[in-house]
């Protein structure tokens, strides 16, 4: 799922060097997708990066093997920080896993480099998978030049987590559907106690779990719908980012960006009772769940995000893809096809692994975690905006941190930072074809 901005930026370090390498490697595998399924036993490799989801993925793989005894699936987990380095090395060496998770930030690089199997015709011919079973924006995440290179696996939204004990001590009602920015700020101010090192909120420089949500709640945008123009120069976007920055610099209800850069972690502060509220994606549930199981005195809650001019949050999703040079391409597709069925998505949901991309099977996911009421996450999907992406994102994403950090540090105005960012972002977008 979407990780921190720092990790996503790190993911793109080798992209320019490997773009050429991957393209070259891709030209050597033009016949790789032509393997045919046989009755001989086959073992597929399925590469993922989240240990929390490993049990769920293995459950899906086992259910698939039960239906297809001659096809076994080996789930391989590589931590996020090493996943893309390992995958890129495998790509240049012609040894990609048969099936693997794909993130939107890297999809264009791999699909354009001819490293992913074109699933378009297979999906059209399938009697088990229908793209209409998934939200269209999630399907489109894995489309390049009109071709489908992956099937949606899951999706995530962002919610407002809060420490119930801090609210109780301050005698403040828990966040609910009536909350807007004014109520949110008022509560954050009342919950902040500098003498005890307690803050009302964590407004760190993060995109999906931070200021992006506020931008869309203010009717702003990060990227135009046609992906040709930056939204950072829009007044509504600037206004939202200004409000977000002011939470630390003006209202003092959040640690400063310098404190975050110095090692402060908002999630850890929420769990330790040093911060009352924070916005976190659904992929953080496993972390909070583990903390609650370890410390039974920890009482956390989840609510929908407060309303600005409108209700909004950000969502994104992962996809399952097949390596173009898989020696067992037909069997690999058969596995991906199964993971796109309702049956497989129900297994994923019931395991608590992630919110399934398949429509209307999220109830099992919310019920899989007894420690919290997670219903706010899937409930926000109808008002969610897809995480901004374009082919040149590896170029413009680092610019968000480069320019906005000065604004978060108070070294420049939000307006000036946004204007500079918009100018360079537009230049990057102009290079897309």
Instruction: Give the tens place of pLDDT for each residue, 173-202.
Output: 999 999 999 999 999 999 999 999 999 999
How many other β-carbons are positioned within 10 Å of the β-carbon of residue 79? 10
Q: Note the pLDDT of residue 319.
A: 98
Q: Note the pLDDT of residue 75.
A: 98
Handedness of CA 230, 234, 240, 244 (dihedral sign): positive
Q: Note the pLDDT of residue 40.
A: 84
Whether 72 shows a pLDDT value over 70: the answer reads yes
Percent of the chain beyond pLDDT 90? 90
Q: Rounded to two decimals, what is the model's pTM?
A: 0.89
User: Which domains does the chain carry?
Assistant: 5-156+316-358 (3.40.190.10), 158-314+389-429 (3.40.190.10)
Instruction: Give the tens place of pLDDT for each residue, 379-400.
Output: 999 999 999 999 999 999 999 9
Instruction: Give the tens place of pLDDT for each residue, 317-355.
Output: 999 999 999 999 999 999 999 999 999 999 999 999 999
CA dist., res. 155 & res. 135, Å (int): 10
CA dist., res. 138 & res. 430, Å (int): 25
Q: Note the pLDDT of residue 10.
A: 44
317's CB contacts (< 8 A; 6+ apart) are: 104, 138, 141, 152, 153, 154, 155, 156, 357
Counting every residue, how long is the chain? 433
Instruction: Give the tens place of pLDDT for each residue, 73-83.
Output: 999 999 999 99
Whether 205 contacts 257, CB under 8 Å: yes
Whether 214 shows a pLDDT value over 70: the answer reads yes
Q: Note the pLDDT of residue 140.
A: 96
- Cα 404 to Cα 204, 411, 421: the distances in Å are 11, 10, 8
Backbone angles phi, psi at 40, to 5 degrees: -70, 145
DSSP bridge pairs for 319: 102, 152
Instruction: Give the tens place of pLDDT for each residue, 241-250.
Output: 999 999 999 9
Q: Note the pLDDT of residue 310.
A: 98
Whether 18 shows a pLDDT value over 50: the answer reads no
Mean pLDDT, the chain, as a whole number? 92
Q: Note the pLDDT of residue 380.
A: 96
Token output for 260: 């975050």
Of 74, 75, 71, whose CA–CA distance to 41 is shortest? Answer: 71
Whether 361 shows a pLDDT value over 60: the answer reads yes
Res. 11 pLDDT band, cuts 50 70 90: very low
Q: Note the pLDDT of residue 433.
A: 77
3-state secondary structure the chain: CCCCHHHHHHHCCCHHHHHHHHHHHHCCCCCHHHCCCCCCCEEEEEEECCHHHHHHHHHHHHHHHHHCCCEEEEEEECCHHHHHHHHHHHHHCCCCCCEEEECHHHHHHHHHCCCECCCHHHHHHCCCCCHHHCCHHHHHCCEECCEECCEECEEECEEEEEEHHHHHHHCCCCCCCCCEHHHHHHHHHHHCEHHHCEECCCCCCCHHHHHHHHHHHCCCCCECCCCCCECCCCHHHHHHHHHHHHHHHCCCCCCCHHHHHCCCCHHHHHHHCCECEEEEEHHHHHHHHHHHHHCCCCCEEEECCCECCCCCEEEECCEEEEECCCCCHHHHHHHHHHHCCHHHHHHHHHHCCCEECCCCCCHHHHHHCCCCCCCHHHHCHHHEEECCCCCCHHHHHHHHHHHHHHHHCCCCCHHHHHHHHHHHHHHHHCCCC
Res. 2 pLDDT band, cuts 50 70 90: very low
Whether 95 contacts 86, CB under 8 Å: no
Between CA 132 and CA 136, with CA 134 as vertex, the angle to 5 degrees is 80
Q: Note the pLDDT of residue 9.
A: 41
Instruction: Give the tens place of pLDDT for each residue, 253-310.
Output: 999 999 999 999 999 999 999 999 999 999 999 999 999 999 999 999 999 999 999 9
Q: Which residue has the tokens 């004990």?
A: 165
Of 298, 325, 287, 276, whose CA–CA distance to 90 is shortest? Answer: 325
């Amino acid at each position: 799922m979407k990780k921190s901005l720092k990790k996503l930026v790190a993911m793109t370090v080798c992209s320019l060097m490997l773009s050429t390498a991957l393209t070259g490697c891709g030209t050597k595998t033009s016949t790789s997708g032509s393997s045919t399924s046989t009755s001989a036993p086959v073992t597929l490799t399925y590469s993922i990066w989240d240990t929390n989801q490993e049990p769920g993925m293995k459950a899906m793989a086992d259910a698939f093997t039960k239906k297809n005894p001659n096809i076994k699936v080996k789930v391989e987990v590589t931590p996020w920080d090493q996943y893309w380095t390992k995958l890129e090395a495998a790509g240049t060496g012609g040894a990609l896993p048969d099936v693997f998770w794909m993130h939107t930030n890297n999809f264009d690089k791999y699909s354009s480099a001819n490293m992913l199997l074109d699933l378009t015709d297979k999906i059209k011919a399938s009697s088990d998978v229908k793209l209409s079973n998934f939200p269209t924006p999630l399907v489109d995440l894995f489309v390049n030049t009109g071709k489908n290179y992956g099937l949606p696996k899951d999706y995530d939204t962002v919610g407002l987590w809060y420490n119930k004990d801090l609210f109780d001590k301050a005698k403040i009602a828990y966040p609910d559907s009536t909350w807007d920015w004014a109520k949110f700020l008022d509560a954050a101010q009342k919950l902040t106690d500098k003498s005890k090192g307690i803050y009302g909120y964590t407004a760190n420089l993060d995109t999906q779990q931070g200021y992006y949500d506020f931008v869309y709640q203010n009717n702003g945008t990060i990227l135009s719908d046609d992906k040709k123009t930056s939204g950072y120069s829009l007044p509504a976007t600037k206004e939202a980012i200004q409000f977000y920055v002011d939470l630390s610099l003006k209202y003092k209800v959040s640690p400063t960006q310098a404190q975050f850069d110095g090692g402060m972690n908002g999630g850890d502060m929420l769990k330790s009772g040093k911060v009352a509220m924070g916005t976190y994606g659904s992929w953080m549930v496993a972390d909070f769940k583990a903390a609650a199981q370890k410390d039974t005195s920890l009482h956390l809650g989840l609510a929908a995000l407060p309303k600005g001019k409108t209700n909004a949050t950000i969502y994104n999703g992962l996809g399952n893809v097949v390596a173009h040079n898989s020696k067992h391409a037909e069997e690999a597709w058969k596995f991906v096809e199964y993971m796109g069925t309702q049956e497989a998505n129900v297994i994923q949901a019931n395991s608590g692994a992630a919110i399934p991309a398949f429509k209307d099977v999220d109830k099992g996911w919310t019920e899989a975690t007894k420690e919290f009421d997670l219903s706010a996450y899937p409930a926000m999907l109808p008002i969610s905006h897809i995480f901004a992406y374009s082919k040149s994102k590896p170029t413009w994403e680092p610019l968000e941190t480069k320019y906005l950090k000065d604004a978060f540090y108070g070294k420049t105005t939000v307006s000036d930072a946004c204007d500079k960012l918009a100018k360079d972002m537009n230049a990057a977008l102009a290079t897309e074809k």
